[in-house]
Structure 1
Amino acid sequence: MKQPSPVRHQPSRAAQTDLAWVLAAALLTFLLASRLELQERIARLTSSLEAWQVDEVPTALVALSLGLAWYAWRRRRESQQLLARNRELAQQLIAVQEGERLALARELHDELAQHCTAIRVEAAYIERSREPAQTAAAAQRAAASAELLYEGVRRLLRRLRPAELDELGLVAALQSLCESCETRSRLRCTFRHRGRLDGLGEATDTAVYRVTQEAMSNTVRHAHAQRLAIDLGVDEQGLRLRIEDDGGGFDTKARSRGLGLLGAAERAAALGGSIEVRSEPGGGTCIELRIPLQPQRQREAVLA
């Protein structure tokens, strides 16, 4: 298969026009300065101010111009790197979304469709059956399939949106998540909270829940930890979520962030916050999420 040739960046027409104006202005300045002997006039005007070194100002201005050009070049490189990172992150998030959609489609087809078919078969059997015992058995099988169908729908809905947040609130949902983690694994999970944590907003609640869920999942799958501590509260800097385990840890400089942590960082950035990951081989991992709150809401939470 023929490999596609790399795409070369071509300057836009506006960029070419701007460059032409800059060159034209420079050429016009040179012609006017030569015609008016501008440098000689400036030298005569500043000769009386030699004690103040005014004649050195043009050299300083040239150095300032070069410095500003270098500064603009550095900022342009940073913006290009940020743009490239955002594009890479967008592609990764699209890939995650497509993978999740594919998994949901398979589960809908393989599991839910199977239960629906089973219920239809049992319903048709009940309709044709004349034996009470067989009718009762078919009804029981249909009820069992309906129960499995209901559980499957709840599982899919939980993947799309954590129902515990709507039903229980943030604190109770995190406590339930911690208890579920202990039930499914040998990890000892402790959850502490302080301050008034209700009414933070749906976006903040979802971000805190998803970051905790991702950190907990990574700990169970990769850290080989015995204990996991979750601390949630409000201080002078806003809401703070700290998740720490005693697992094997990893080198944060050598290992790139996974998609889960990238998504967590984007959630925090969307709320004006930040996420920090501290870890070292053999030293466990600590994830700290900070989200600023409105001043009035923050004071109420700290005093609660």
Structure 2
Amino acid sequence: MRLPALLAATLWLAPAPALAWGHRAHAAIDRAALAALPADGPLFLRRHADTIADSATLPDSWRAASEPFSKIEEDPNHGWFREQFAFLRPIPRSRYAFVIALYREHERLQASDPARAARTNVRWTGTLPYAAMESYGRLVVAMRAVRAAGSDRRARVLAEGQATYEVALLGHYIGDGAQPMHDSVHHDGWVGDNPNGYTRDRSVHGRFESGFVDRIGLSERDLAPHVAPLGHEGGDLFDAVLAYLDVAGDKVALTYQLEKRGGFADPTDAAVRALVIERAASGAAMLRDMIARAWRESASAPRRDLPDPLDLAAPAFDPATGSAPAAP
């Protein structure tokens, strides 16, 4: 049975709570990632594990209505509602090109499907992979500074502090991406056609990622045996992030199935526990891979042979964004 268009639009447009994995899960993901770093990785980060874990939900604090500029910029960075951009292939390698493509689709839909047009925008689609890649780039720069500091204690402290901050941010976005409801329009209850009778209760998000997680006392020790071996050492990292988000998004239906049979309310439910651990361990592995790769990349000086993306003569320069997309 279809929801009336007005009700569907209301569900889409109602203000959403600023939810993400609770602090416990984010901190566990961060600590498990640092513990799984390879021997030739940036092991100095382990000295800052408490700071990284304590800052695990910092980006969520930037999403309050009391700070509207930061909220407007930050909110989309925590989601990737892939049903919203099924029309868009390939995914642009530029945050701004992505936003413009959404707006053009919004304009196209206004007359034929105003309810869908109203949610075809950056807020109701998300920019999570861009936030992750932007943080990754800043992490590489910070790690170069760590290497360059040498025995200069003051320079080392400053560089390690910046790297610690970027790992905390990267960990938050990658951690969010591991949670299936961050990768779907069904982030706060099932939306639209609902033949399986999944809950439309907006509290479902928090009941899974915070309520259940807190009840089982999730820690990095639970994740450690399930963190995959080091990967993503080569290939295109943006594509790898997109694929990682797709894997999480494919588990949305399973998440709702487990909720439907009451699993979220029972801390002894083995299937829900297994899903939480599998997803959080996946986040820890991806974060570890990106940290280790950033460290390897930082061993080389910045390439000087690449075109400046802001140069009007750069390949694929887009006058609508004022830049060329990131090269593969």
Question: Taking CA–CA contacts closer than 8 Å with sequence separation of 6 or more, which of the two structures ends up with the larger relative contact order?
Answer: 2
Same fold judged by TM-score > 0.5?
no
Q: Which has the larger radius of gyration?
A: 1
Would you tell me which structure has more helix in proportion to its own residues? Answer: 1
Instruction: From the two aligned structures, give the one with the greater strand fraction.
Output: 1
The TM-score, its normalising length taken from structure 1, stands at 0.23
